Structure 1
Amino acid sequence: MAVLLSLFKSLFRNIREAANNFKSRKVRIGLRPYMLDGKPVIGSVPGLSNVFLATGHEGGGLSMALGTAEMAADLVLGNPGTIDHAPFVVQG
C-alpha cells in the first residue's frame, strides 16, 4: 500500500508541475451538440455495432446523465434494459 501511495504522490506532483508550466496558445469555444428534434442520440452506430454514441443533450446533459448512462451501459453490455431506447436510436 505504501508503494501505491508513493506512486500516486509522484504522479500528482508531476501533473501539478506540468500544469504550472502549461502555456495555452489558443482558446477555442464551441457550441453544445444538439439534435434538431431536441432528443439526444443514444445507441450503436449503424454498420458499426461496437461503436456507441450518447450525444446531443444540448444544455440538459447533466440532468439526463443518469438515464443516459444507464441506457448506454445496458446497450454496451447487451442487457435488455429498463429504459426504452427506441426514441433515441441513431439513424442514418
Structure 2
Amino acid sequence: MASAAFNDYVQSLEQVFDEVVATGSDDELFASGYLRGHFDLVVAQLELNDHASADAVLPSVHASVEQAKHELAPADMAHIQAMLNRLEAVAAQVA
C-alpha cells in the first residue's frame, strides 16, 4: 500500500494536469493527455510492485516517454518536454 506522502506527491502532480485541462492551449492539452497516460501507468506499476516512492515517479515517467518518443513528431516532443518541466518544478516544491 502506498504511503500518505506518496499519495500527496502524486496528487500534487495530478493538479498540474488538471490545471492544463482547465486553462491549456491545444498543444498543452495534447501534451498533458499524452503524459498523463504515462504518469498514470507508472504510478499504478509502482503501487503494484510495492515500489511506491515519490523519488521513482518522474524518472520512471521520463523512461516511459523515452521508450515511446519515436511515436512523436519533434514539435509534439517539445510540448511534452515542457510539460515534464512543469511537473519537475512542482515536484521540487513538494519534495
Shorter-normalised TM range: 0.3 to 0.5
TM-score (norm 1): 0.34
TM-score (norm 2): 0.34
Higher relative contact order (CA 8 A, sep 6+): 2
Higher helix share: 2
